[in-house]
Structure 1
Amino acid sequence: MDKNKLFYGDNLKVLREHIEANSVDLIYLDPPFNSNRNYNQIFTSDGKKSEAQLMAFEDTWFWGPEVEDQYIQTVRSGHGSTSSFLVAMRDLLGTSNMMAYLTMMAPRLIELKRVLQERGTIFLHCDPISSHYLKLLMDAVFSPNNYQNEIIWKRTGAHNDAKRFGNNIDTILFYSKGKTWIWNKQYKPHSEKYLSRFKGVDQDGRRWMDDNLSAKGLLGGGYEYEYKGVFNLWRVPKERMRMLDEEGRLHYTRKGGIRLKRYLDENKGGAALQCLWDDIPPINSQAKERVGYPTQKPTALLERIINSTSNPGDVVLDPFCGCGTSIVAAERLGRKWIGIDITHIAIATIKERLQKEFGMLLSPNEITGEPYDIDGAIDLACRDRYQFQLWALHLLGIITEMKKGADGGVDGFHYFQDGNKFKKCVTQVKSGKVSVKDIRELYGVLQKERATLGLLLTLGRPTRNMVEEAAKFGIYESANGRKYPVIQIVLVKELLNHTKFLHTLVPD
């Protein structure tokens, strides 16, 4: 792959149609955990008294006709161990929510193995609710022989539960595709307690602690001889003892003993990293990197993973890329990257993060699946009305509120500043046919919400009667004397053509 790429769509379809076999060096995925929760993204608007929520994704899985069809397809696909796993799990779990979740994950993991190169690695981030099932599924897809680690990340300091121990950890399953893999050993800073053991200091300022050279007490081995008047069973042969002495690495104690000097600067900057990661704090409300996305992981966590099993120029893939922390980490570390997500708000958030941190403006060639013309907009509206609404609102450039289900006629709203006051504008998005009725309903919502302006964002062209009806609701005069229609109609096609709406009040 010669360039970075974002894909907006179902990762199973994207993997099958766009990602070549053996083309990826490292995969990190943080899929929904089957936690039976809906996650909202929180936005704040720099003190402008506006806060809004966008439902980012639903982490809820149910058995239904589509899942049944996926189950049959995967079992019949010829992936022996994975098919056997699904059959066994269905005998155990039946058509439960957990079984629906595993059925969704299985074909995606099969595709992820296909695109991973032979020396590649995969890290699956999950929680205790599903980790034991997912480990069995990973064994089925990648083989138990390619399991490398179960990493435990302490994701929060404390989590108080009334009748059980606090659940404050996540699990990261680390597998390789083959018998060898890219590996760069990682270290963490030594503790103060460990550093305090280096009490010796040479003339050149090098700090050291002494270590035992005696082989007494060890089970077998050792070398028995006298060195400089000290007779002992030593851990090293006499020739090696002389070399250590010539190098100044022996410490002669006051009691006549001989010990080995171990220098602090030879510890490669820290202690070798273990599989318990308790030194990377989670994203809290005060974190500078916080973007308000649910389940956002700290960049340091992804940087550690990427540094461990990839090199600069390698390709990192995240098929559930969310707010793009893996993408940001890969870009910082000089890796190429591929991100996939099924929600527009994820793709929009990633674009904004890349622009803010790196000044990157992704071109249409670098984003696949996001509409860039009216045909693409129509296609998205047919496939997923909710995602079309999110995409269209983002085109308008308004921080807005949007929730699935009954919305009371409000798809979104934003506050704009007029003089020293904040005024409210309500927005409706229409992807189908529109009529005069929609204008009247919008004005009713405007009155109900006590808003100042109403905005109809429409895929279809408004009729002449609609334009005339909107004009009936009059003009709003701002503090600076400018006048704006109370009900405004904006076409998606015009937004795609970057038309400026001089009559529309939007936040600065």
Structure 2
Amino acid sequence: MENQLFYGDNLDVLRRHIKDDSIDLCYIDPPFNSKRNYNQIYNNIGKEDQAQAQAFIDTWTWDDYANQGLAEILENYQGKFTSQSIDLIAGLTKVLSKGSLLAYLIHITLRVVEIHRVLKPTGSFYLHCVPTASHYLKLILDTIFCSQGGDFRNEIIWCYRGGGSPKKDFGRRHDVILRYSKTNEYEFNKNAIRIPYQAEGIGRKDDAMWGKHKGTNKVYKPHPLGKIPEDWWLMNILNANDPERLGYPTQKPEELLERIIKVSSNEGDVVLDAYCGCGTTVAVSQRLNRQWIGIDITYQSISLILKRLEDSFGKGVLEQLKLNGIPKDLEAAVALANKKDDRTRKEFEKWAVLTYTNNRAIINAKKGADKGIDGIAYFQGDKDEPEKIIVQVKSGKVQSGDIRDLQGTITLEQAALGIFISLKEPTKDMIKTAKSAGIYQSRYMNQSSDKIQIVTIKEMLEQKKRLDVRLSLEVVKSAEKQMEVKGKQLELDI
């Protein structure tokens, strides 16, 4: 099986593309509005979040999707839901009423039912969550797994340090990971995750000593590989200077996923992450020789994962990867541009920017007026200082005035170059206006470049047209590589 990365709604992907009994291990870290306090969630306050972009923002509101999901559960859509799940959601609807928390729980119920279906009988499931919702989520998982021959195995507490201290509360320094098995015949590779005695900072002084079981003459001695970890795991979160850090707000350390993947799967097994975010699960699965399937609804995440895999394992890893849901022809691009769903209405722009820049640009978060900027990239200028590239995307009607507006934005932002990506074919006046902006030349460029470049989606798809400028990060990496080579040569000379 090829490793697969899906761009789209994980419920749709699970239902349409993932076969029954095909997954050995599933880990998910679904978004949750952890920035809101518990009472606000419970009382459905915080409607100001509704207008924010979906990408990287864990927010929930009661909308048509929640109504549809509730109907599917209560009406037992295609016979997928257990009577316990139906009764639980019906009861929670009375207790919580139709608001953000219930919308979140319905979202999770729909997807965990599909995850249970695709797990092999020997499969395991891990759900990563915050304490404000873990008690509700455990009830939901019990009704799905325990009622069908599976079982609850552990409530794992991931403990970490850092952050400020609240004035009137104990500091919140843990996440919850709920572990379930589909049957009692599940994988648990205990020797793969043993740790040294007292390795996690807490333990009796005699942990590693020989001794007798109390009340017996039976002698025990510590295992030479160490002990099996308890259900609390002391692992640091990623700090700002950590080399793993990718800038993704909910990024988890590879150490955490490594333990989960090692204990509940073997080499060659299939690992699924249905909310793969910045790709920690798929990156660790790749390193540990597991097959994997990743799903995410935002193209920023897909782009970040592709770049992470390429940086970690080389470009060859992308050639062995099957990408699904990403526009491969003009018809698919038009369909993406015309989506009515508010959650994905900006996805066309993100896809266009990141695809054209080979996943190197920074997406404009669009908080407030976007000033005509959909993406920004930086390249090395002649003065060895970063120069800015402004990227703008249009899916509707275009005209020469759009190019003049972009030219004004370039001046305002003190940028060197502007890229205008259009779904429609540009007019002759647009091309003429772009040409009149002049050219830019840098010693880092193979040839001079138009200061304003017009690129069509058709050219991107059919001619594979991409930004032909070495961006700052690539120049730095090249310099670091040269220093590494020189260092090795010096070692040889010595």
Residues 483 and 340 of structure 1: CA distance in aligned 2, closer, same or farther (over 3 Å):
closer
Aligned partner of 2:231 among 269, 275, 284: 275
- Whichever of the two has the greater Rg, that structure is 1
Deviation at 1:413, TM superposition (A): 2.1
Question: Paired residue for 1:235?
Answer: 217
Distance in 1, Cα, partners of 2:441 & 2:407? 17
Deviation at 1:483, TM superposition (A): 4.8
Secondary structure of the 1:188 match is coil
Distance in 2, Cα, partners of 1:500 & 1:173? 43
Deviation at 1:361, TM superposition (A): 3.4
Q: Deviations over 1:4-27 (max 9, x none)?
A: 111110000000000001111111
Q: Deviations over 1:431-469 (max 9, x none)?
A: 222112211221222232233332211121101121122
Residues 235 and 23 of structure 1: CA distance in aligned 2, closer, same or farther (over 3 Å):
same
Judging by fraction of residues, say which structure has more strand. 1
Tell me, which stretches of 5 or more residues in structure 1 are unaligned? 38-53, 199-207, 219-233, 237-259
| Equivalent AA in structure 1 for residue 120 of structure 2 | Q
Secondary structure of the 1:58 match is coil
Structure 1 window deviating more from structure 2 (408-417 vs 117-126): it is 408-417
Deviation at 1:101, TM superposition (A): 0.6
Distance in 2, Cα, partners of 1:479 & 1:212? 74
Distance in 2, Cα, partners of 1:105 & 1:480? 49
Residues 288 and 475 of structure 1: CA distance in aligned 2, closer, same or farther (over 3 Å):
closer
| Equivalent AA in structure 1 for residue 110 of structure 2 | P
Q: How does 1:398-413 map to 2 (within 5 A)?
A: 398-404=360-366, 406-413=369-376
Tell me, which stretches of 5 or more residues in structure 2 are unaligned? 37-52, 476-494
Q: Deviations over 1:257-277 (max 9, x none)?
A: xxx5x555xx13112211011
Judging by fraction of residues, say which structure has more helix. 2
Q: Deviations over 1:446-496 (max 9, x none)?
A: 232233332211121101121122233344465799754332212222233
Q: How does 1:174-189 map to 2 (within 5 A)?
A: 174-185=179-190, 186-189=193-196
Deviation at 1:376, TM superposition (A): 2.5
Residues 194 and 152 of structure 1: CA distance in aligned 2, closer, same or farther (over 3 Å):
closer
- When the two chains are superposed, the root-mean-square deviation of aligned CA atoms in Å is 2.7
Distance in 1, Cα, partners of 2:204 & 2:105? 46
Deviation at 1:115, TM superposition (A): 0.5
Aligned partner of 1:440 among 404, 416, 421: 404
- Is the Cα–Cα contact under 8 Å of residues 458 and 489 in structure 1 kept in the other structure? yes
Distance in 2, Cα, partners of 1:176 & 1:20? 18
- Is the Cα–Cα contact under 8 Å of residues 21 and 116 in structure 1 kept in the other structure? yes
- Do structure 1's residue 167 and structure 2's residue 159 form an aligned pair? no
Over 6 Å off, 4+ runs: 192-196, 479-482
- Is the Cα–Cα contact under 8 Å of residues 356 and 466 in structure 2 kept in the other structure? no
Deviation at 1:210, TM superposition (A): 4.9
- Do structure 1's residue 392 and structure 2's residue 352 form an aligned pair? yes
Residues 155 and 425 of structure 1: CA distance in aligned 2, closer, same or farther (over 3 Å):
same
Q: How does 1:458-469 map to 2 (within 5 A)?
A: 458-469=422-433
Deviation at 1:357, TM superposition (A): 2.0
State the aligned residue count.
Answer: 436
Question: Paired residue for 2:484?
Answer: none
Residues 76 and 195 of structure 1: CA distance in aligned 2, closer, same or farther (over 3 Å):
closer
Residues 150 and 159 of structure 1: CA distance in aligned 2, closer, same or farther (over 3 Å):
farther
Q: How does 1:144-159 map to 2 (within 5 A)?
A: 146-157=151-162, 159=164
Residues 425 and 352 of structure 1: CA distance in aligned 2, closer, same or farther (over 3 Å):
closer
- Do structure 1's residue 64 and structure 2's residue 24 form an aligned pair? no
Q: TM-score, normalised by structure 1?
A: 0.79
Residues 109 and 372 of structure 1: CA distance in aligned 2, closer, same or farther (over 3 Å):
same
Structure 1 window deviating more from structure 2 (170-179 vs 407-416): it is 407-416
Question: Paired residue for 1:17?
Answer: 16
- Is the Cα–Cα contact under 8 Å of residues 73 and 86 in structure 2 kept in the other structure? yes
| Equivalent AA in structure 1 for residue 151 of structure 2 | N
| Equivalent AA in structure 1 for residue 87 of structure 2 | S
- Is the Cα–Cα contact under 8 Å of residues 419 and 454 in structure 2 kept in the other structure? yes
Deviation at 1:428, TM superposition (A): 0.9
Distance in 2, Cα, partners of 1:112 & 1:352? 27
Secondary structure of the 1:361 match is helix
Deviation at 1:158, TM superposition (A): 5.0
Residues 354 and 149 of structure 1: CA distance in aligned 2, closer, same or farther (over 3 Å):
same
- Is the Cα–Cα contact under 8 Å of residues 157 and 174 in structure 2 kept in the other structure? yes
- Do structure 1's residue 284 and structure 2's residue 239 form an aligned pair? yes
Secondary structure of the 2:14 match is helix
Distance in 2, Cα, partners of 1:364 & 1:379? 27
